[in-house]
Amino acid sequence: MFECRFSEGLPCKMSNAKPRSESLFEASQRLMPGGVNSPVRAFQRVGGAPLFFRQAKGAWVTDEDGHQYIDYVGSYGPMILGHAHDAVIDAVTRTARNGLSFGAPTAIENELAELVQQYMPSLERLRMVSSGTEATMSAIRVARGYTGRDRIVKFEGCYHGHSDALLVKAGSGALTLGEPDSLGVPAAVAAQTITLPYNDIDALQTCFQTAGSEIAAVIIEPIAGNMGCVPAVAGFLDAIREQCDQSGSLLIFDEVMTGFRVARDGAQGLYGVKPDLTTLGKVIGGGMPVGAFGGREDVMSIVAPLGGVYQAGTLSGNPVAMAAGLATLELVTQDGFFEDITSTTEVLMTGFEDLAGQAGVSFTTNQVGAMFGIFFREPPTNSDGRVTTFDEVLAANSDAFNTFFHAMLKAGVYLAPSPFESGFVSSAHGEKEVAATLTAAADAFKQVSSN
| CB 269 to ligand KE4: min, Å | 17
Rounded Cα gap, residues 421 and 198, in angstroms: 16
| CB 262 to ligand KE4: min, Å | 12
Q: Would you tell me how many other CB atoms lie within 10 Å of the CB of residue 399?
A: 10
| CB 245 to ligand KE4: min, Å | 24
Q: Which of 76, 169, 282, 414 is catalytic?
A: 282
* Closest to ligand KE4 by CB, 133 or 437: 133
* Closest to ligand KE4 by CB, 6 or 282: 282
Rounded Cα gap, residues 246 and 372, in angstroms: 34
* Closest to ligand KE4 by CB, 7 or 83: 83
Characterize the bridge pairing of strands 223-224 and 125-129: unpaired
| CB 279 to ligand KE4: min, Å | 7
| CB 281 to ligand KE4: min, Å | 5
* Closest to ligand KE4 by CB, 49 or 442: 49
* Closest to ligand KE4 by CB, 7 or 133: 133
364 neighbors 351 (Cβ within 8 angstroms): no
90 is catalytic: no
Q: Which of 65, 254, 265, 276 is catalytic?
A: 254
* Closest to ligand KE4 by CB, 229 or 349: 229
* Closest to ligand KE4 by CB, 4 or 220: 220
| CB 171 to ligand KE4: min, Å | 7
| CB 291 to ligand KE4: min, Å | 6
- Residues at the interface with ligand KE4 (CB under 6 A): 38, 40, 76, 131-133, 136, 159-161, 172-173, 221, 225-226, 254, 256-257, 281, 291, 421
| CB 196 to ligand KE4: min, Å | 17
Length of the chain equals 451
414 is catalytic: no
| b/e per residue 53-67 (b: at least 16 CB within 10 A) | beebebbbbbbbbbb
Q: Which of 69, 76, 146, 159 is catalytic?
A: 159
128 neighbors 113 (Cβ within 8 angstroms): yes
159 is catalytic: yes
126 neighbors 293 (Cβ within 8 angstroms): yes
Which residues belong to the active site?
Answer: 159, 254, 282
